[in-house]
Amino acid sequence: MADARRAQLKDRTDISGARALIVEARFYDDIQDALLEGAVAELKSAGVSHDVITVPGALEIPAALAIALDAADSTGRPYDAAVALGCVIRGDTIHFEIVSMESSRALMKLAVARRFPLGNGIITVNTDAQAWARARASELNKGGDAARAALAMLRIKRRLTRV
Please give the positions annotated as active site: 95
Which of 28, 26, 52, 30 is closest to 39 using CA atoms?
Answer: 52
Question: Distance from CA of residue 13 to its chain's centroid?
Answer: 20
For the chain, where are the E strands, in sequence order? 19-25, 49-55, 81-89, 118-125
Largest CA distance in the chain: 52
